[in-house]
Structure 1
Amino acid sequence: MFVTKRLRSQWSSLLNLPLYVKHYNVAVVGGGSEMGQVACMLLRGEPNITKLTIHDTLPYITGTIMDISHIPSEPKIKGFTGDTNLYKAIEDADIILATGGICETPGIPNKDIFLTNTTFIKNFAKAVSGLRHIPFVGIATEPINTLVPIAAEIMRCSGDLSLNKLFGITGIDALRAQTLYATKCNLNANNCTVHVIGGHSEKTMVPLLSQAMPLVNLDQALIQELTMKIRSGDEIITDAKNGHGPALANAYGVLLFTRAILRALDGKLTPVHAYVENNDFGTSFFSGLVYVDKNGAGEMARYTNLSEFECDLLEESINSLRIAIDSSKKVVEVDH
Structure 2
Amino acid sequence: MLSSISKVSARQFSSTASSAYKVAIAGAAGGIGQPLSLLMKLNHKVTDLALYDLRNAPGVAADVSHVPTNSTVKGYGPEDDGLAQAFSNADVVIIPAGVPRKPGMTRDDLFNTNASIVRDLAKAVAEYAPNAAICVISNPVNSTVPIVAEVLKSKGTYNPKKLFGVTTLDVLRSSRFLSEVVGTDPNHEPVTVVGGHSGITIVPLLSQTNHKDLPKDKYDALVHRIQFGGDEVVQAKNGAGSATLSMAQAGARFASSVLNGLAGEADVVEPTFVDSPLFKAEGVEFFSSPVTLGTEGVKKIHALGSLSSAEEEMVATAKETLIKNIAKGVEFVKANP
**Structure-2 residue corresponding to 1:54:** 51
Offset of 1:9 from its aligned partner?
5.1
> 1:7 corresponds to which letter in structure 2?
L
Please report the RMSD computed on the Cα atoms of aligned residues, expressed in angstroms.
2.0
1:24-35 to structure 2, matched below 5 A, reads: 24-35=21-32
> 2:316 corresponds to which letter in structure 1?
E
Q: State which of 150, 154, 169 in structure 2 corresponds to 1:153.
A: 150
Q: Show structure 1 runs of 4+ deviating over 6 A.
A: 107-112
Distance in 2, matches of 1:271 and 1:188, equals 21
**Structure-1 residue corresponding to 2:6:** 11
Offset of 1:221 from its aligned partner?
2.0
Offset of 1:25 from its aligned partner?
0.9
Which sits farther off after the overlay, 82-91 or 43-52?
Answer: 82-91
Give CA deviations for 1:174-209 in whole Å, capped at 9, x if unaligned: 111011111111122111111110000012001111
1:100-249 to structure 2, matched below 5 A, reads: 100-105=97-102, 113-131=110-128, 133-212=130-209, 214-243=210-239, 244-249=241-246
Contact kept in structure 2, 1:8 and 1:192, CA below 8 Å: no
Contact kept in structure 1, 2:110 and 2:139, CA below 8 Å: no
Offset of 1:279 from its aligned partner?
2.8
> 1:186 corresponds to which letter in structure 2?
G
Offset of 1:272 from its aligned partner?
1.7
Offset of 1:154 from its aligned partner?
0.4
Q: State which of 273, 276, 280 in structure 1 corresponds to 2:274.
A: 276
> 2:70 corresponds to which letter in structure 1?
E
**Structure-2 residue corresponding to 1:325:** 326
Contact kept in structure 1, 2:87 and 2:129, CA below 8 Å: no
Which sits farther off after the overlay, 107-116 or 127-136?
Answer: 107-116
**Structure-2 residue corresponding to 1:3:** none
Which sits farther off after the overlay, 83-92 or 255-264?
Answer: 83-92
**Structure-1 residue corresponding to 2:20:** 23
> 1:274 corresponds to which letter in structure 2?
T
> 2:285 corresponds to which letter in structure 1?
S
Which sits farther off after the overlay, 37-46 or 77-86?
Answer: 77-86
Distance in 2, matches of 1:179 and 1:34, equals 22
Distance in 1, matches of 2:107 and 2:305, equals 37
Bigger helix fraction: 2
What secondary structure is seen at the aligned counterpart in 1 of 2:161? Answer: coil
What secondary structure is seen at the aligned counterpart in 2 of 1:34? Answer: coil
Distance in 2, matches of 1:304 and 1:227, equals 19
> 1:104 corresponds to which letter in structure 2?
R
Distance in 2, matches of 1:114 and 1:95, equals 24
Offset of 1:149 from its aligned partner?
0.3
TM-score scaled by length of structure 1: 0.92
> 2:224 corresponds to which letter in structure 1?
M
Distance in 1, matches of 2:227 and 2:165, equals 17
Distance in 2, matches of 1:52 and 1:160, equals 23
TM-score scaled by length of structure 2: 0.92
Contact kept in structure 2, 1:45 and 1:74, CA below 8 Å: no
Distance in 2, matches of 1:111 and 1:146, equals 9
Which sits farther off after the overlay, 168-177 or 82-91?
Answer: 82-91
Offset of 1:48 from its aligned partner?
2.3
Question: Compared with structure 1, are the counterparts of its residues 105 and 61 closer, same or farther at alpha carbon in structure 2 (3 Å cutoff)?
Answer: farther
**Structure-1 residue corresponding to 2:263:** 266
Identity of aligned residues (%): 28
Offset of 1:133 from its aligned partner?
4.0
Which consecutive residues of structure 1, in runs of 5 or more, have no partner in the other structure?
Answer: 1-5
Which consecutive residues of structure 2, in runs of 5 or more, have no partner in the other structure?
Answer: none
**Structure-1 residue corresponding to 2:63:** 67
